[in-house]
Structure formats: structure tokens, C-alpha cells
Amino acid sequence: MNIILLGPPGAGKGTQAARLQAERGMVQLSTGDMLRAAVAKETPVGLQAKAVMDAGELVSDAIVSALIGEHLDCIGDRGAIFDGYPRTQAQAEALDLLLAERGRHLDHVIELVVDEDELVRRICGRFTCANCGAPYHDEFKRPKVDGVCDVCGSTEFKRRPDDNEATVRTRMAEYRAKTAPILPYYQQRNLVRPVDGMAPVNEVAASIDAILDS
């Protein structure tokens, strides 16, 4: 099974993709994570992408589609969860080609339907353990002992440079202008499954599971 998780920044794509990967043996393919890894390693792609990401704008279609192609070649016959890709019409068309070349097809496009003001709160409060990557939130999920990671005991935490209100608003605007308009491309193929992304995480998970098991 190959699925897309579609929704604006902070809609919960990464949260649900990581869960599906852990529970179903599918593979999370997050272009955001791939790009952040490239930035951290200072690869040519990373050097090109950093300023664009810090501004909350979209990296070029050619770069992200090439990254997805490379990763698709490494996942064997496991299902793919596309997290944050595609984000433009050109990427949606590129994905169809990448899948067809590998004898795959899309099963569902899960649209996480959310309220934008709530998303700013979600995003601006999140942080992760700098050592193991465990996710936390200033309001919704603080470490049990302040300043100490519940999972590995590290005392180092980090926040994404693009998780500030001004950049989040730009990322939302990019979503409205370039990503939301690809929904009809999938609606006409009857692939879009809307899910209430404002519900608690476990309820969102149950709605997605019901779709995948239907």
C-alpha cells in the first residue's frame, strides 16, 4: 500500500507517518526530514535548500522528486507513506511517474483537515531531544522531569529554525497557494480521504487505520 499524508504545516503528518511506520512496517518518506539531513551534512542539496527552508518557502520540484526517487529505490516491497510530498502539481505528476516506473500505485491520499490558528500554536511549541529525537511540546507534552528527556535522559533539546510564527505563516501561505490546489488532481481519481486533524492524536490514528483497513 502506498499513501500520501496531505495537510498544512503542523497538521500531524509526521506524527501519523511515524506511527504507521512503527505499527505497520510501512516506510515514512518525509522530504522535510530528507532535506534537514542534507542541511545538517552540508551536502550540495543541503547548502542549496537551507535558506529556502529557513524562509518557509518550497525547495525546487526537481530536488525533492529526485530525493523521493532515491529513497523509493531503497524500500524493497514495503509500502510507502509520503509525508510532505507532493506539494505542487509538478511533484504530483512526478510522483505518478516514479511510482509507475517501479510498478507501484497510490491507494489513498489522506487529507488532514485542520484549523490554521491552532496549527501555529502546535508548531511554535514543539521541540525534540537533541540526542534521540523524541518529540515534546511546551503545552501538550513536556518531559516528565523538566529539562530531561524521558527516553534517553539527555538534557539537550532543539527546535527547528523554521518553527517561528512569521515563518509558519509563510509555510501556511505556500500550502494554500501551491499544495491545496493539487487536491482536485486526486479527487478526480477518487483517492482523497478527509480526516479531522483537530481530533486528539489517537482519534486521528483510528480514523486513518479505518481507511487503511477498509
The closest of 195, 161, 213, 149 to 15, measured between CA atoms, is 195
**What is the nearest approach in angstroms of ligand AP5 to the Cβ of residue 84?**
3
> Which distant-in-sequence residues (6+ apart) come within 8 Å of 174 by Cβ?
56, 57, 58, 87
Active site residue 121: no
Active site residue 176: no
Backbone angles phi, psi at 24, to 5 degrees: -125, 0
Active site residue 193: no
Position of cell 514495503? 78
Q: Is 56 in the site for ligand AP5 (CB under 6 A)?
A: yes
**Chain centroid, CA 147 distance in Å:** 26
The closest of 21, 106, 40 to 30, measured between CA atoms, is 21
Q: Is 9 in the site for ligand AP5 (CB under 6 A)?
A: yes
**What is the nearest approach in angstroms of ligand AP5 to the Cβ of residue 202?**
8
Cβ distance to ligand AP5 smaller for residue 51 or 100:
51
Position of cell 486526486? 186
Q: Which value, to the nearest 10 degrees, does the dihedral of the CA atoms of residues 169, 199, 91, 60 take?
A: 30
Residue 80, all three cell numbers: 510507502
Name the catalytic one among 121, 160, 169, 178.
Answer: 160
By beta carbon distance, the residue nearest ligand AP5 is 32
Active site residue 13: yes
The closest of 51, 71, 64, 176 to 114, measured between CA atoms, is 176
Cβ distance to ligand AP5 smaller for residue 26 or 77:
26
Q: Is 59 in the site for ligand AP5 (CB under 6 A)?
A: yes
Q: Sign of torsion, CA 62 63 68 71?
A: positive
**What is the nearest approach in angstroms of ligand AP5 to the Cβ of residue 151?**
15
Cβ distance to ligand AP5 smaller for residue 191 or 207:
207
**What is the nearest approach in angstroms of ligand AP5 to the Cβ of residue 195?**
10
Name the catalytic one among 87, 121, 122, 142.
Answer: 87
Q: Is 28 in the site for ligand AP5 (CB under 6 A)?
A: no
101-140: which residues touch ligand AP5 (CB under 6 A)? 122-123, 126, 135, 137, 140
Contact 46, 38 (CB under 8 A): yes
Helix-strand-coil percent breakdown of the chain, rounded to 5?
50, 15, 35
Residues that bind ligand AP5 (CB under 6 A): 7, 9-15, 31-32, 35, 52-53, 56-59, 64, 84-85, 87, 91, 122-123, 126, 135, 137, 140, 162, 171, 200-201, 204
Catalytic residues: 13, 87, 126, 160, 171
